[in-house]
Structure 1
């Protein structure tokens, strides 16, 4: 996707609010994109990653990094995935140097523009990023007196807030990432067992509240959501690589109730386990 298709005004800035579907292909672009999940659930295919997304997640996509959002269901009327997008290129970065005084933040934007850094993901815990996105969208949609100044100010705030949260996250990770990595490892090792939050409290020494915050910060999901996706991911691997019956696979990934397994599997993959296995084997034999 090219800048001239979106950034044809004097501001070199484009803001929209859209409902994602299955039409837009996996794509890259020559501008920086800040994308905020405003409503619904789905998946963000970005680079080589597939990330489950929910309301409150913000992604910063550098120039040249391919990505696409997909809703959780093909029925986008009942299960919409609403995204706010803020797009700009190097020309706007140059303009923002008059507002943003910190050289390291300007360098951060230049690194995004020159594809020198990976994509960024943060979680909007206090709704401040959503407020900025809504203001950007309204000001862009219905310009008023001083709209240029207002939009540049709002974009600067968005950049600064994201950068500050990213820095704070990195600072926290210096102290906590090792402990949280142990929690993730513990879950993977015990995925076939019943895992409760009290077990994580016991093995980490953290409180339930601390663990909950770390899950949101590091994975964008709560504990139960992360565990469910991990179990379904493991079941997908077993369906592709083994001859085990579906009932045994469900047990191996921690489900004792088949109805719960089938419901979780279809919710996350959109297919039944048997349909998933059949399609995977057909794809493998066709390679």
Structure 2
């Protein structure tokens, strides 16, 4: 099967919501790639491994590793892709024998599930990189290198701490759970309970909870809240909707519950989040 080669940019980052990928089904490049799924669910293939990827998963792809993205459901997904050459970091952070920040890319550990706090941390780093790339202010290149190095150290430490079952890759998410995740990504704005969803997919509630957590790294409630808050964040920044309307739009039954969950996940109230990030995008 033919694979396409692409020359990697010195540094490039993009965040897009889309239904399909503009890249050929199989490709590789002479740079390092960090792929983060903000929301949705897709399949991703890296060399001989396949992964069912849900929102909050980060993938790292080394130089010349063949990979492709498949969106079988046809539903929209939001992703962040960062591509860089090794030379981009060398003048600011020269490598030495005691620590190689790029060692993670040759560790065979391509797949990382991130906790809610870890997602918030890396998404803020990505947002800062995108802001610097667009604005091109004095010192932007050095700040981009600093932000990238911080992200690479996080990835290095994360791969070092991965449990054995996550290190081998290969379909980390059970097919049935992937179907449930797809259902939640499409219908997060509706009332969803463990009893309703487990019944819909013919699984007992207790087994459903156990299998969902083992396969996604989240409880059912954590995952659903994660999807809802990410959608709310986009609406807070990209629309003029009232916060109470946004809460209802993404599936929260009360403003109090929405405000509490939103602050737990982002560290800011919905109003403060809107004020902070609206200003940053001007």
State the TM-score, normalized to the length of structure 2: 0.53
> Structure 2, unaligned stretches of length 5 or more?
168-173, 175-201, 224-282
Structure 1: segments with no counterpart, 5+ residues: 178-183, 185-193, 201-207, 226-287
Task: Pick 1 or 2: higher relative contact order, CA cutoff 8 A, min separation 6.
Answer: 2
1:17 counterpart residue number: 15
How many residue pairs were aligned? 181
Matching residue within 87, 91, 97 for 2:93? 97
Query: How far apart, CA to CA, are the structure 1 residues paired with 2:156 and 2:51?
Result: 21
1:123/1:216 contact within 8 Å kept: yes
Matched ranges for 1:1-287 at <5 A: 1-3=5-7, 6-7=8-9, 12-18=10-16, 19=18, 21=20, 23-25=22-24, 26-74=26-74, 79-98=75-94, 103-106=98-101, 108=103, 112=105, 116-125=106-115, 126=117, 127-170=120-163, 173=164, 196=204, 198=206, 214-217=214-217
Do 2:40 and 2:77's aligned partners in 1 also have CA atoms closer than 8 Å? yes
* Deviates further, 14-23 or 146-155: 14-23
**Structure 1 residues 23, 135: closer, same or farther in 2, change over 3 A?**
closer
Counterpart contact for 1:20–1:83, Cα < 8 Å:
no
Q: What is the RMSD computed on CA atoms of the aligned residues?
A: 3.6
In structure 2, how many angstroms separate the alpha carbons of the residues matched to 1:103 and 1:83?
33
Alpha-carbon distance between aligned partners in 2 of 1:81 and 1:96, rounded to the nearest angstrom: 35
- The answer to whether the Cα contact below 8 Å between 2:109 and 2:159 also exists between their aligned partners in 1 is no
Secondary structure of the residue that 2:87 maps to in structure 1? helix
| Cα pair 1:2 1:30 within 8 Å, conserved | yes
User: How far apart are residue 23 of structure 1 and its match?
Assistant: 5.0
Q: Which runs of 4+ in 1 moved over 6 A?
A: none
Contact persistence 2:44–2:69 (CA under 8 A): yes
Give the 3 Å change call, closer, same or farther, for CA 88–22 of structure 1 in structure 2: closer
| Larger displacement relative to structure 2 (16-25 or 148-157) | 16-25
In structure 2, do the counterparts of structure 1 residues 101 and 150 end up closer, same or farther at CA, with 3 Å as the change threshold? Answer: farther
Judging changes above 3 Å, is the alpha-carbon distance between structure 1 residues 86 and 107 closer, same or farther for their aligned structure 2 residues?
A: closer
Task: Tell me the equivalent position of 1:243.
Answer: none
Q: C-alpha separation between the residues in 2 aligned to 1:158 and 1:144?
A: 21
Cα 1:105–1:197 shift into 2, 3 Å: farther
Higher Cα radius of gyration: 1
Kept in 2: contact 1:38–1:55 (CA 8 A):
yes
Residue 87 of structure 1 and its aligned partner are, at CA, apart by: 0.9
